[in-house]
Structure 1
């Protein structure tokens, strides 16, 4: 949407804030329901968890090469890997001057890490136990840290790419992100170190963190995230296109309105340097 005046811009900000709040509240409600079922030992959920874990463990025990491949995928998608990616993204954004956007990325990583351990310690759910485990992990199980960290990281990276690519690129990014999140979550179940409900809880907890952090920053610095997105688009645009825009020959061809909303010239606000 092309924002051309203060009223429209304010409406767009309110819509964005409502969307973020709805994400956080919706995921919180679902997480609360799932946590209630888990702590109450709801029999259909217990049976579902045990059947999935039992069948996958039997297969993993009988197919060691397959299990080693799954373990490798799980290690690649570890929480340290995911938070390192967010740290690199935050550092790069800080260096190019997108300080609020960098803070948003860093906050997602830090709040996600803190929320993960706070929830694990609060519920203290035991992990699946086998006499012949194929993988060993310590600590509480609920929610899955791998599932939570991968969902937060992939959502943030897709968000950073969203205004840099066109429709096909956005579709590809979403598909890759979804496949990554699903694969990492599935590996934790296949290795017998998490119940399926742990993984689902990790995804819901990620939604809470994503929506809450974004909404808080929107309230704290209204419009700052959008300005930083425009700054990133401008700073990373090819130099030839910058020269064309600066000379005034074809501003709209060089900077599509959807990439720089609210700036008639297609350039970032001059007051935000």
Structure 2
């Protein structure tokens, strides 16, 4: 079973994502100043806390592309073996679409990352891929578990999923791998793709 999000959720997320992308690509100065100010404050904090930076360098890779795709393939295969087709479709589409979309935007949009970050990544920065992966995986977990749980369980799952998505996003900013707006873009991308994939998966199953 998969929870079917209302269509308004991905539509609002998509509108917000497109607006944010326009602001980022247009180099709107108020947003640039805010991004720079927050990143410079975190640079000072990271310099003063090198042990924390070392921990975050390891923790953030939980949401790297290879880990995300591997987890998605395993989940899809497990659902197929149990003949849970809707769940397998959802995992397959999210595993493919999220990396493909942020990868396309990294290629097409010129958005340099913060200079001299605590990790080196030689690519454009909008939106954050690690953040997109973490948020997408968290949303999939919520949609898969929601129909199977009572109110208390749902609250715990939503809280845990939000914590994972927020934590990975925070690591990308703290490590100066991304600007804060890159991370916000990653969250919005996942909030657009996953609900649409869930609705497509449930609609496809209904026709079979």
Which runs of 5 or more structure 2 residues have no equivalent in the other structure? none
Separation of aligned partners in 2, 1:127 and 1:197? 11
Q: Which residue, out of 10, 19, 25, partners 2:11? A: 25
Structure with bigger RCO (C-alpha 8 Å, 6+ apart)? 2
Q: 1:165 to 1:95 in 2, by over 3 A?
A: same
Q: Which residue, out of 62, 74, 77, partners 1:88? A: 74
Separation of aligned partners in 1, 2:195 and 2:184? 17
Q: 1:17 to 1:87 in 2, by over 3 A?
A: closer
User: Paired residue for 1:198?
Assistant: 182
User: Paired residue for 1:47?
Assistant: 33
Report the structure, 1 or 2, having the larger helix content: 2
User: Paired residue for 1:163?
Assistant: 147
Determine if the alignment matches structure 1 residue 64 to structure 2 residue 50.
Answer: yes
Determine if the alignment matches structure 1 residue 176 to structure 2 residue 160.
Answer: yes
User: 1:33-75 CA deviation, whole Å, 9 max, x = no partner?
Assistant: 1111111211211111001111111211222111111212212
**TM-score under structure 1 length normalisation:** 0.70
Q: 1:221 to 1:96 in 2, by over 3 A?
A: closer
Structure 1 or 2, whichever has the larger Rg, is 1
Pairwise CA distance, 1:219: 4.1
Separation of aligned partners in 1, 2:90 and 2:29? 40
User: Paired residue for 1:97?
Assistant: 83
Q: 1:170 to 1:17 in 2, by over 3 A?
A: closer
Pairwise CA distance, 1:102: 0.6
User: Number of residues paired by the alignment?
Assistant: 207
Separation of aligned partners in 2, 1:59 and 1:185? 17
Matches within 5 A, 1:218-229: 218-222=202-206
**In structure 2, the residue corresponding to 1:162 is in which secondary structure?**
helix
**In structure 2, the residue corresponding to 1:138 is in which secondary structure?**
coil
**TM-score under structure 2 length normalisation:** 0.91
User: 1:165-201 CA deviation, whole Å, 9 max, x = no partner?
Assistant: 2221111111111011000000000001100000000
Q: CA RMSD in A?
A: 2.0
Separation of aligned partners in 1, 2:85 and 2:195? 19
